[in-house]
Structure 1
Amino acid sequence: MAVDAPSTLVIDTTTVVSLFCTFLILVAAYGAARRVLPADTAPKLRVLFVWHLFDALIHSTYEASYLYNCFFTYADGLPNPTNFLNHPNRAYGAAYGSSPTAKLWQEYGKADKRWMYADLSTISLELLTVFGAGPLAAWICWLIAKGDRTGKLWFLCVVLATAELYGGFMTFCPEWLSGSQNLDTSNFMYLWVYLFFFNMLWVFIPFWILYEAHGQISRAFKSSSGYYSNNTNRQGAAAKKAL
């Protein structure tokens, strides 16, 4: 089950730098939106741009660094119970490193231990996230920046939002089914900042995107139905005149 006994919360340089860098990524995404989007861009599209650029940057930096540590940071002579990369006596993961990115995941791993090690389910999801979701989010930003408001934009938004929700579910469902053995919810920082806030962003915002996409698609279908209905009526009237 989740850790119930109070754990020692240490707010050190790694904690502060990690949170500050996340904030800087958000500021960079907002700054990019102000720079590349026309002043008359609709607020919702501006939010979509900022979110997807933030999403792409997080996937291509933080989460890519998790994969890097899983594949290239290791300690020999330790058991590898999952036989990751077919090395039974080599343990992989950020827990065995001393680089800034390793320390970042050691910090987050205080709340969810899986991120300190080469957890197979997490790696599988992150491979899709880094090499699939990240580029897709960047593509969406490019479409918004060039003024594309067609069905392609909203289709890609739906695909990515659905993938993000699925990824979040598959990240935590195994923990819920096994008593949350890897989670530490014993203090405010780990529970509400690391686990809740940083993960629920990828729940609430994708749901909002799906809601907006539903509205756009519904309006498009209504417009299309009206066009075909009017066109059919005109064809029927023309046929009657011909008779």
Structure 2
Amino acid sequence: MATALDHPFYPPDLDPIGYAANTMSIIALLGTFAVAVAGVIGFSSAVLKAAKPNISRIDKILVGWFVFSGCIHFILEGYFVYNHKTMPRRLDLLGQMWKEYAKADSRYMTMEPFVLCMETITAFAWGPLCYTIAWMIVSESPHRHPTQIIVSMGQFYGDILYYSTSIMEEIYHGRSYARPETFYYWGYFIFLNAFWIVIPVFCIYQSYSKMVGAFRQASSSSIKKNL
């Protein structure tokens, strides 16, 4: 069984089978991730500028958000789902990124059932649908807001469960999956995941308001026709 001296994860008695230490530094991994994020957002902005220059600022931001979310869900989280059995020993770029993040949540190193199920739904349901919503925004599809509210609710609900299962494990069983350093818990676990609470809440509110407005307008038009 691996010990605290063999791996950087918490709790110390964790047994990440076949663990191999990362060969890339934290700075290199975070820098690569930041460049990838900037590239996705920059590419989305360039395409929008050419394809739909008159799009509103809010919709432009949301297109970037859903393309970015699609990449995180389908590529990064999909990678985890596909390789979850061998994550501790993987040394490719995405594998090392996951092992760095696992310092804040070691459940990704142990084939934990909740995390695996949650990530599977996120990767293969919400991931492709995020790309679809981005296209719906650009094409002004009437299906945009119903789909947006479904996906955003799924993201919000999944993130709340993700937070709560880890926090409740520590409260009730005294078992923490994050290293004691503040950076890992508040930087990785709390901050990075908070985007999938804050922005989906806005998207839910936006879509709910648009749908209510449309029903009110339709109801008002129907009443006027019957007068």
Q: TM-score range by the shorter chain?
A: 0.7 to 0.9
Q: Match of 1:184, as an amino acid? A: A
Q: Deviations over 1:122-177 (max 9, x none)?
A: 111111111111000011111123x2242x10111101001001111222222222
**Structure 1 residues 216 and 14: alpha-carbon distance in aligned structure 2, compared to 1, 3 A threshold:** farther
Determine which of 156, 159, 163 is the counterpart of 1:165: 156
Residue matched to 1:115: 108
Cα offsets for 1:9-38 (capped at 9, x unmatched): xxx944223322332333233223323322
CA distance in 2, matches of 1:19, 1:43: 28
Once the two structures are superposed, the pairs formed by residues 9-158 of structure 1 within 5 Å of their partners are 13-37=24-48, 38-71=52-85, 73=86, 94-145=87-138, 147-150=139-142, 152-158=143-149
Give the TM-score, by structure 2 length: 0.81
Structure 1 residue runs of 4 or more that deviate by more than 6 Å after TM superposition: none
Report Cα offsets for 1:35-85 as digits up to 9, x if no partner.
3322210111111100000000111222122123214x2xxxxxxxxxxxx
Specify every segment of 5 or more residues in structure 2 that has no aligned partner in the other structure, as ranges.
Answer: 1-9, 12-22
* Structure 2 residue matching 1:179: 3-state secondary structure: helix
Q: Are 1:176 and 2:187 matched, yes or no?
A: no
Counterpart residue type for residue 88 of structure 2: A
Q: Scaled by the length of structure 1, what TM-score is found?
A: 0.76
The 2-side partners of 1:216 and 1:45 are apart by: 13
Q: CA RMSD in A?
A: 2.3
Per the alignment, do residues 97 and 31 of structure 1 end up closer, same or farther by CA in structure 2, a change over 3 Å counting? Answer: closer
Partner Cα distance (1:138, 1:14) in 2: 32
Distance 1:182 1:68, change over 3 A: farther
Structure 1 residues 177 and 148, CA gap change in structure 2 (3 angstroms): same
Aligned residues: 203
Secondary structure at the counterpart of residue 99 of structure 2: helix
1:148 partner letter: E
Encode CA deviations 1:76-103: one digit per residue, 9 max, x unaligned.
xxxxxxxxxxxxxxxxxx2233333222
Alignment identity in percent?
A: 22
Q: Give, in angstroms, the shift of residue 201 of structure 1.
A: 0.6
Give the C-alpha shift of residue 186 in structure 1: 2.6
Equivalent residue letter for 1:119 = E
The structure with the larger Rg is 1
Report if the CA contact (8 A) 1:164-1:202 is conserved: yes
User: Is the Cα–Cα contact under 8 Å of residues 152 and 201 in structure 2 kept in the other structure?
Assistant: yes
